[in-house]
A and B are shown apart, each in its own frame.
Chain A
């Protein structure tokens, strides 16, 4: 068991070795959203080899995402007391020259240079300032404050940058009720989709007996969203500290972080971080010498989008099919294994440490109206600078797309925006004035949801994009409620017909009826919102629909390309016939007493 002060002291001395010592510190972005797919492994290997062959002593760290995924592989070279130079698109063939010029000859080559930061006395005139890049300058990083700056495998780097000040304050100065009050007055709302006030959700948990659970939702099945995974991969400690704060506030004894099987980057980073937190006494019994104890583990789910829904997630934690439960009872009364549980998104929990560190007034001063703090935007699709950008709420969608994202490339025109995951709506290019604000976006018929913004240019037909979204909804329906199971399947059939120019009379009317039935007759948001993509696309892109449906001719031609979607979809998945077992035999085996 260690006190916060001893940990902090140790952390600071290690940090100053890295940032003020004599050896350069080279950081390479390796997270899923940037590094892996762009070949950062090869770059990393090459860097190590070159350093070796030139006998240069340097600290090399694999770090998370700076947000500028478009420029990956990103190599961030820090020369203590001199400067920091950030290079983009560093392919292995560039490494030797770069290392030689930066570290042997002491130059700052301009090739592939994104920008520099002055850390001392060097003369950097004529070189671009890294922090003045719009992609950096327009960000206000809170949950991502350490992403790309610290090594996710070293808890001391997190502590050195102010980590655990928040939890320490809670444990020494605040009662659990005070923590809930602080979160309430910060105005923090859930970032998982429903935007429910986090403090209010926590206050439901004060009743009920132990053991109680805090669940962290990193299922993140929305295509086009990668922010939860990136947070856990770049800085798992902020989520872990956030969970400890939530547990203290709600009187919870156990926590589970829930990640999809196969996403090895976030899984490994999180498990390693949990192990370290136990080792230094930031998890487990009597945290920081207080009488507060909290245990945390990781649980994996199979591939299932609906597993992200809060009650389905509890079923998956219990090892069953991830199908939603009827509510009430709500999770705060009857959650995982029937225990009182609170479930929050990774982003929501990752704000808690900063809110406790800087106070609720600081947090609520960022943002607009009832949407305080920042939005963590995943920008992708037909956009010049795709990436992961944490920006203050209240910025307009146009600011994000034009000023940060650099607009639509290749001289094309912006046509459609798909926000908040496949169940959110499709918006047109008229929507650039809409601000990033939960309520304003909802009024416009879209949701901010998980923060994904997918940009489509004028080569894509609205019917074509809608088909992909509906195919996703169909593929991911868990099959529990028949309006959703059959409805999404019928909708896909109809949209497939439309995009193959074979629409039938009355198809549009039929789709609307199905949509209404799904909304009225489904247990969870998957069925209730499953008609959203079609409805909003039909509203904003009348010409596209009438061309494909009435005239049988796609305006852009994108519908005429071959369609590929998985055939073996979940609503109709079944065990291989040979293995079905008469129920008596099955019961003999396990003898489960119900």
Chain B
């Protein structure tokens, strides 16, 4: 059963689709924690794939004896989830009050400029996804940013810029 009612042209080859389904199934059926719910299944898929593909919704619904609409309800509620494949890297900057007071605004501006973005989202070249974070839990080290979940504290706008530049350099290097 597909969750789509309007046909659309899907360029993904069948073998890749099957591969994706297998990964989703594996993520849902081999969860680490004993209590399995709609939310835990979605988190497990997000950990595995970095996003919630359309196919996942009905799999989660079936596995948890729930409905497609309920699963969408949960998936759309928590900002953890995204619905298209993520960029290669995630950049987060904290905008919580502790960070705000010691210069988070300048850091955010520098990072956005460097990524050529004007808010949350993916860069055009899909190198990075930018997210705001309400508190990274390292307030004594404010202002704080994280790149792929590695935190950097007490950063200036200049340091933030150079972190992004370095990220770009590493990616370009590894692509060659």
Q: Are B81 and A226 in contact (CB under 8 A)?
A: no
- Give which listed residue, B5, B62, B144, contacts A37 with CB less than 8 A: B144
Tell me the complex Cα distance, A495–B77, Å: 25
Tell me the complex Cα distance, A37–B98, Å: 15
Of A96-104, A172-180, A194-202, A261-269, the stretch lying at the interface with chain B is A261-269
Q: Are B79 and A303 in contact (CB under 8 A)?
A: yes
Closest to A464 in B: B100
Chain A residue contacts of B66, Cβ below 8 A: 590, 592
Tell me the complex Cα distance, A580–B73, Å: 10
- Given A300-B43, A579-B3, A590-B67, A573 and B35 contact (CB-CB distance below 8 Å): no
Closest chain-A Cβ to B121's Cβ sits at a distance in Å of: 9
Closest chain-B Cβ to A259's Cβ sits at a distance in Å of: 11
Closest chain-B Cβ to A477's Cβ sits at a distance in Å of: 12
Q: Are A33 and B69 in contact (CB under 8 A)?
A: no
- Give which listed residue, B74, B79, B96, B142, contacts A319 with CB less than 8 A: B74
Q: Are A302 and B43 in contact (CB under 8 A)?
A: yes
Of B16-24, B53-61, B161-169, the stretch lying at the interface with chain A is B53-61
Chain A residue contacts of B73, Cβ below 8 A: 320-321, 575
- Give which listed residue, B34, B100, B141, B150, contacts A297 with CB less than 8 A: B34
Any chain B CB within 8 A of the CB of A347? no
Closest to B133 in A: A303
Tell me the complex Cα distance, A379–B154, Å: 15
Closest chain-A Cβ to B42's Cβ sits at a distance in Å of: 8
Closest to B68 in A: A586
- Given A264-B149, A380-B142, A565-B95, A570 and B43 contact (CB-CB distance below 8 Å): no
Q: Are B37 and A318 in contact (CB under 8 A)?
A: yes
Chain A residue contacts of B6, Cβ below 8 A: 578
Closest to A41 in B: B150
Of A143-151, A159-167, A216-224, A283-291, the stretch lying at the interface with chain B is A216-224
Chain B residue contacts of A34, Cβ below 8 A: 138, 140-141
Q: Are B1 and A590 in contact (CB under 8 A)?
A: no
Mask: chain A, 367-388; 1 = CB below 8 Å from B; 0 = not: 0000000000011111000111
- Given A319-B74, A418-B97, A582-B5, A303 and B80 contact (CB-CB distance below 8 Å): yes
Chain B residue contacts of A476, Cβ below 8 A: 134
Any chain B CB within 8 A of the CB of A55? no
Q: Are A465 and B139 in contact (CB under 8 A)?
A: no
Closest chain-B Cβ to A564's Cβ sits at a distance in Å of: 5
Any chain B CB within 8 A of the CB of A583? yes
Chain B residue contacts of A222, Cβ below 8 A: 135
Q: Are A465 and B97 in contact (CB under 8 A)?
A: yes
- Give which listed residue, B57, B64, B83, B140, contacts A70 with CB less than 8 A: B140
Closest chain-B Cβ to A378's Cβ sits at a distance in Å of: 7
Any chain A CB within 8 A of the CB of B40? yes
Tell me the complex Cα distance, A465–B104, Å: 12
Tell me the complex Cα distance, A48–B66, Å: 50
Tell me the complex Cα distance, A437–B11, Å: 63
Q: Are B139 and A386 in contact (CB under 8 A)?
A: yes
Any chain A CB within 8 A of the CB of B76? yes
Closest to A220 in B: B137
Q: Are B77 and A570 in contact (CB under 8 A)?
A: yes
Chain A residue contacts of B54, Cβ below 8 A: 579
- Give which listed residue, A302, A318, A581, A582, contacts B80 with CB less than 8 A: A302
Q: Are B79 and A468 in contact (CB under 8 A)?
A: no
Q: Are A381 and B132 in contact (CB under 8 A)?
A: no
Q: Are B39 and A32 in contact (CB under 8 A)?
A: no
Any chain B CB within 8 A of the CB of A353? no
Any chain B CB within 8 A of the CB of A587? yes
Chain A residue contacts of B38, Cβ below 8 A: 319-320
Closest to B6 in A: A578
Chain B residue contacts of A468, Cβ below 8 A: 95-97, 100
Any chain A CB within 8 A of the CB of B120? yes
Closest chain-A Cβ to B70's Cβ sits at a distance in Å of: 8
Chain A residue contacts of B119, Cβ below 8 A: 564, 566-567
Tell me the complex Cα distance, A576–B83, Å: 8
Closest chain-A Cβ to B28's Cβ sits at a distance in Å of: 12
Interface residues of B in 41-94 (CB under 8 A from A): 41, 43, 54, 57-58, 61-62, 64-70, 72-81, 83, 94
- Give which listed residue, A37, A322, A583, contacts B153 with CB less than 8 A: A37
A-B pairs, 9 with minimum CB distance: A319-B37, A302-B78, A223-B96, A37-B153, A69-B140, A223-B135, A386-B140, A380-B139, A37-B141
**Chain A residues with a Cβ under 8 A of chain B:** 32-34, 36-38, 69-70, 72, 220-226, 229, 256, 261-264, 297-305, 316-322, 378-382, 386-388, 418, 422, 452, 454-457, 460, 465, 468-469, 471-472, 475-476, 478, 561-568, 570, 573-576, 578-583, 585-592
9 CB contacts below 8 A, A to B, read A72-B141, A221-B134, A226-B135, A303-B134, A319-B41, A381-B142, A454-B98, A472-B97, A590-B68
